[in-house]
Amino acid sequence: MLSFDKYQGLGNDFILFDCVHNELPVPNPAQIRRLCDRRFGVGGDGILLFERASDPAASRMVYFNADGGRAETCFNGLCCIALHTVRTSVAAPFSNFIIATDAGNVKAAVNIEAGLVEVELPGPEFKPDLIPTTADSENFELPLVNNRYVKGTTLSLGNPHFIEYRSEDNLDDLNRRVLDVGAEVERHPFFPRGMNFEAAFKVDDEDILMAVWERGVGRTLACGSGAAASVCAGVRRNILPANRPVKVRMTGGDLTVAIEADFSRVKIIGEAKWVFAGQVSL
């Protein structure tokens, strides 16, 4: 039997295996799909491996989507890894520490009493070949079946995103939008490694609504990198101002995002919570 911890951030939930304090095999894709199944397994949007890292990083995150595919990063997963880093005394509360990921190193700090995590990381990449996309521009109309299209902005925050700003002023309609086109956007030929899709609405300069379809998972209640990507796209298109915190309101809760005017850094502040611990057989 393998020990695990269940974490969630804004309803984005994860099964965490602590490979620092336990000898654990890495689950294969079929095992990951079974573990993440909400009827036949523990249930989760993905798997987090908490690993030892070399200096200067305090810990390392390896992330797998619910479909078994390894992803470059996951911001809500990072918040949960940061909380676990503090809960297991690998780093001290309220200190700044580094978490290593497949997308590079990020800076984190945890207010364990408030259950809030601050994560700071490099800003977005807009070059199509680095996202990657076969489109020749960051802003374009993505053709779908039945003469439909999605007009949006594509960028990478270590993982790829395609963001559409819409006129619907409520989360129910935005969630219907991602359910309607999300799977098709994710697997579109323009995106050779798949794509996360966000539908957003600007409330004002400091407040947006957002729904998300996550690559390898489907519609989720929240997505930290999707929230950050939506703000980055909004600033890039002059929909939102730079250098001002923006509250991103999602079905699972709210996340605060701030980006530098030159897009050099992105900072997010959100919740992370330990839910329970258990044991499972692969």
Which residues are marked as active site?
A: 74, 223
Decide: 175 and 215 in contact? Cβ < 8 Å. Answer: no
CA gap 33, 68 in Å, rounded: 6
Phi, psi of 69 (to 5 degrees): -80, 140
**Residue written as token pair 């890894």:** 81
Q: How many CA atoms lie within 13 A of 167 on its CB side?
A: 0
Residue type, 244: R
CA gap 232, 159 in Å, rounded: 14
**Type and span of the H or E element at 4:** strand 2-9
207: tokens are: 């407040």
